[in-house]
Amino acid sequence: MNGFQDALRGAARRLARGWVLAVAAGAVGGLAGAALVLGLKPDLPGPWSWRLAASPTPSPAEIVHRIAGPSVVGVISTYLRPDPITGKPVVAARATGSGVVFDARGFIVTNHHVVAMPRVAEPGVAGAGRQRGHPTPPRGTGPSGDEGGRRADHRHPDRIEVLLPDGRRVPARLVAEDYPFSDLAVLWVDPGTTGPLKPATFADSDQVRVGQWVAAIGSPAGLFRSVSLGIVSGVREELFQPVPPPTAVPVVGERIFRLIQTDAAINPGNSGGALVDAHGRVVGLNTVKIAGAGGRQDRFEGLGFAIPANDVRRIASDLIRHGRVRRAALGVHVVDVVQVPALARSDPDRASEFATALAEGRGAVIWRVEPGSPAARAGLRRGQVVIACDGEPVQDTVDLLRIVDGKQGGQRVVLEVAGDGGARRVTVQLAELTR
């Protein structure tokens, strides 16, 4: 029996040696094949030294990173709380995000949620959100006071730092924010400390095409200046819905969200970074990713969104110059025609007011007129339908709000309004929207 076992062991050893030789030969062949496919070249004379052959042409992501990368920074927000024993401030929370250099004076545009958090989310955090010992932006920019333009329902960091492309961390100050109208905020760093900054080049986002190549540059999970490649999946226009919506008003507010949808990877930390085109121009500011929640069926991939560059440029310019965004207001709440039947059923006594809307079949239906507003002074009333504004057809509420959103307070617009007596033109002088 011992002889049989010895023979079996010997056969096993010979078989094992054969498999090792076969696997080794296969591995060598595989490496050689991979070298041919991947462009690896042997570093002669040794057979196991390989190097990656220089690519004759850089990839699109490499090109845009080289152009736009120096204009993208990291943003680090630190929140403090008192130590329960010593009372001295200690770090309670730290958040990372991204930002884009807006101009050479030191202004950086980022997302509001990168430099703010709801107060209910961080109990016990010390201070009142003032950033002590930080530089002061140039006079004539930003809000008049340290807390100007800021909301009490959100908490701001005790310390904001910007991570520069060369790896240095410098202090930054929150200049102003546009919450809740948009998820944008402006920071300032001292150019005397940072040295020369490279402002980003902003593209005309109205020319963005579905299917065009884009790259997202930012700091996902704190990985500074990461690049992901994708395409523009869509260009969306959504009405601003107050949260929570007012119970007595079944309509939206007077704002509109424009968003560029992309499948380029956008993850926590990408917020405030740049979405750039093939020329390295910023087409949008990365702001949110829809990931879903719950079970596996509720998970989503490739649903990232960016605020269009034209909106970023306009809003950031106003925040820097005035400390707030100067928006136009018409003073009406509007609904789409398809909403009218349900709304009329909820108020049968006034259902007859919406006969024109149902007959018209299109337009922005006036549901409520704010007392003392430009619309009230122009004689507009509930149930009328706006079918054109400054010569542009209005098919629904999005059309009207988009046109008004492009105006400024004090400008006059000509509305074409359908009512009981037919259509007529009404001139309205827009007011400035207040918070």
Whether 415 and 388 have beta carbons less than 8 Å apart is answered as yes
**346 has catalytic annotation:** no
Question: Among residues 112, 113, 134, 333, which one is catalytic?
Answer: 113
Question: Among residues 219, 226, 228, 271, which one is catalytic?
Answer: 271
- Read off φ and ψ for residue 246, nearest 5 degrees: -65, 130
Q: How far apart are CA 362 and CA 348, in angstroms?
A: 22
Distances (CA, A) of 161 to 75, 115, 188, 194, 236: 6, 10, 10, 12, 33
Report DSSP state, residue 262: E
**205 has catalytic annotation:** no
* Residue 373: burial class (beta carbons within 10 Å; 0-12, 13-18, 19+): middle
Beta bridge partners of 155: 117
Beta bridge partners of 286: 306
Instruction: Assign 225 to helix, strand or coil.
Output: coil
Q: How far apart are CA 231 and CA 210, in angstroms?
A: 8
Record the tokens describing residue 77, joined without a space: 């927000």
Dmax over CA atoms of the chain, in Å, equals 113
Q: Is the dihedral of CA 230, 234, 238, 241 positive or negative?
A: negative
Question: Among residues 158, 178, 183, 318, which one is catalytic?
Answer: 183
DSSP string, 361-374: -SSEEEEEE-TTSH
* Residue 175: burial class (beta carbons within 10 Å; 0-12, 13-18, 19+): buried
**83 has catalytic annotation:** no
Catalytic residue numbers read: 113, 183, 271
